[in-house]
Amino acid sequence: MPGLTVRGRLAAALCMTMALAAACTQTAPDEVTLRVLAGPDLADMQPILDELRRDTGIRLEMDYRDEAQAAGALTPGRYQHDLAWPASDASFLLSLKAAGYAGERPLTTRIMTSPVAVGITPEAAARLRGGDPARRLSWADLADAAAAGTLTFGMADPRAADSGLSALVGVATAAAGTGRALRPEDVTCDRLDGFFAGQTRTAPATAALVDEYVAHQDQTDAIVAYESTVLSLNASGRLSRPLELLYPQDGLVLADFPLMLLDRGDRAAYDTVVAWLTGADAQRAIMERTLRRPVDPTVARDRRLPDTIGNALYFPDDKAVLDRLLANYGDAGVPGHVIFVLDHSGSMKGERQDRLRATIGGFDGFARFYRGERVTLISFGGTILAERTFTVDGQGDVDAMNAFLAAGELDERTAVWSALLRGYEVAAGDPGRPASVVLMTDGENNAGPGLDEFLTRYRTLPEAARAVHTYAIGLGDADPAELDKAARATGGRMIEATTASLQDAFEDVRGCV
């Protein structure tokens, strides 16, 4: 169509798509307005959308809503918008699947991408690398430092912001360490308490989080957000020093900002908008102005965007996973109480005792004891031999736990069930914290009450105490059937371990409540 302007060519194409070519002229059509349900993060796209309007005559009227508000407006058959433009359509599709919806899904086109990354001060990054500038850091490294109180960060609330939800999924997937999309059983035990012990800043939206971080940048080491957010913050002139972009080596979640057609009657206008936004000129403008990555592979990447960002993590394919993650996040900031009931009978002497001390003193990464967490150590033989409660404030408290275990005496008898009852008495005395009991024994019960008496007395405990689960770890001659029955009766489970796998067994139940 020689001689037409860009707007004229697109107008003519729109007319032909609508089978109205005969009636079209070479002048721009009347303006079309499409109402768009969008995440607040897309507010920075307005200058580009103004250009879209000038070129095509299509105005996108953006209705910015947070994650929770948007979910309520995306019910099939009750759409109030023409289009939707979230950071990701993953949670929307999971909701449809969970509801058993079998109808037509919205036509969807990816427009741009941005991974969840970490903007971290150079000083904090150097501290985490421990003198090795080439060391690649992981989510586990960040969790370890946060739990120890040496890293603080800000992150948007995952219940309201797509960026926060993507970050939560990424960290939880890395913590599970399965190499696959999270399944419900992978989040039975919440290993993120230590990580979130370092979260000192939050907000319901990314823009508000940035403002919060800027206002407290001298007291906050990092911000967990989209790569584009961190790069834009660095370019804003609002920071006393630029942040280093960290892409955790155990993977990250990628937002792909899909444009979704809700009203099929707007298909022609939607096609025009998509064609314009995914064209090379618009893709380049999006990248240069918002620092999101183009989906067009022919567009040369901006030098501020690294070629390699590491592994992408899979988003869960079961809504129950998101529900559990968000429920656990709702408890973040309330330090837990773990009660270790540990066998100190004679059969534990030697290698097993050494392994036990090494395990309790050697937790790191997502399993690490974290600041504010309460830990009770109960050692038992035929009776309770020793008991002490610690509230973790630093490595000195972990060292004190190890010293406590090393100083404990041994007993030739094994009163498993009376010791477990004592663990529940401790839990009942601390009702304000989420708690769990970890029972470890290498022998059969040969003193005190039997399993049946334990179960009878357990059922008479206050409701809050009965809600505490037992996670039993059996070694050597321990009776797996009895341990399993007791653990299941409390809502927990039993793990059989060898001396060599004791560390794995304890780490398996860290965070279980």
Which amino acid is located at 226 in the chain?
Y
CB under 8 Å to 458, separation ≥6 — which residues?
A: 421, 424, 466, 489, 490
Three-state SS sequence of 323-364: HHHHHHHHCCCCCCEEEEEEECEHHHCCHHHHHHHHHHHCCC
Looking at residue 383, what DSSP letter applies?
S
10-residue averages of pLDDT along the chain (513 residues): 40 44 47 94 96 98 86 85 94 90 94 96 96 93 94 94 90 90 88 93 93 97 97 97 95 94 96 98 98 96 91 90 90 87 87 87 91 95 95 92 85 93 95 92 90 95 93 90 96 86 89 85
Query: What share of residues in the chain are helix, strand, coil (percent, to 5)?
Result: 40, 20, 40
CA distance 374 to 364: 17
Which amino acid is located at 46 in the chain?
Q
CA distance 472 to 482: 10
Per-residue pLDDT at 61: 98
Per-residue buried b or exposed e for 417-430, using 16+ beta carbons within 10 Å of the residue's own CB: bbbbbbbbebbeeb
pTM of this structure: 0.85
CB 473 within 8 A of CB 440: yes
CB under 8 Å to 326, separation ≥6 — which residues?
A: 158, 159, 168
Per-residue pLDDT at 15: 44
Per-residue pLDDT at 354: 86
CA distance 186 to 156: 23
Per-residue pLDDT at 29: 55
